[in-house]
Amino acid sequence: MGQGAVSRLHDALAAIDAANRHDPDRREGRPAALLYGERMTAELLRLFPDASEPLQIAARGQHIERWILNRQDFPEGRAGYLAWRTELAKHHAARVGAIMADAGYGAEDIARAAKMIRKEEIKRDADVQALEDVICFTFLRWYFAPFAPTQDPAKLERIVARTARKMSPEGRARVLDEFDLPESFAAAFRA
């Protein structure tokens, strides 16, 4: 990787971090979106040390400015939740694309990152699937423990099963190796 590539990657990641520093959610002592982006990068580099620049940027910017669109502004229920998530993905992809353009990336790299962020062709595109595996690992490692007690046990089992279904076979196997899951949850990752 040449010096120019290192610089533009650094510039893009720094711009994403600068945007995410404005997150008003500071439950963990730091802006939540900033912390999430750092955790995503750490998991990505651990799981996929040879990740492409668009994948590195997509991982860092996957939740850029997540607080901009409030869940409460969408209808209740699963349909409202999915509409909110779709609009968030569009926002994240557009913001990351603008940041990448400012950092000197071309249209092809910008389109790749946007495709990953919008989760287009999951299970068919290796980079999109890699990002999804990183998202699931980040959730399991950092967010599952505080989230689980807030959920009805039956609903929680459905969430775990849905998480497992999103992952690649290699990702599911790695979850079983790295996490000490209760049998009811582990079964979802063996399926």
Cα(162)–Cα(157) distance, integer angstroms: 9
- What pLDDT, on a 0 to 100 scale, did the predictor assign at position 186? 92
- What pLDDT, on a 0 to 100 scale, did the predictor assign at position 184? 86
- What pLDDT, on a 0 to 100 scale, did the predictor assign at position 5? 65
- What pLDDT, on a 0 to 100 scale, did the predictor assign at position 129? 97
Q: Which contacts qualify for 42-46: CB closer than 8 Å, 24 or more apart? A: 43/134, 43/137, 43/138, 43/141, 44/130, 44/131, 44/134
- Select from 2, 109, 119, 125 the least CA-distant residue to 57: 109
Cα(35)–Cα(60) distance, integer angstroms: 10
pLDDT in tens, the chain (191 residues): 555 667 999 999 999 999 999 999 999 999 999 999 999 999 999 999 999 999 999 999 999 999 999 899 999 998 999 899 999 999 999 999 999 999 999 999 999 999 999 999 999 999 999 999 999 999 999 999 898 889 998 889 999 999 999 999 999 999 999 998 888 899 999 97
H or E stretch covering 115: helix 107-117
- What pLDDT, on a 0 to 100 scale, did the predictor assign at position 6? 74
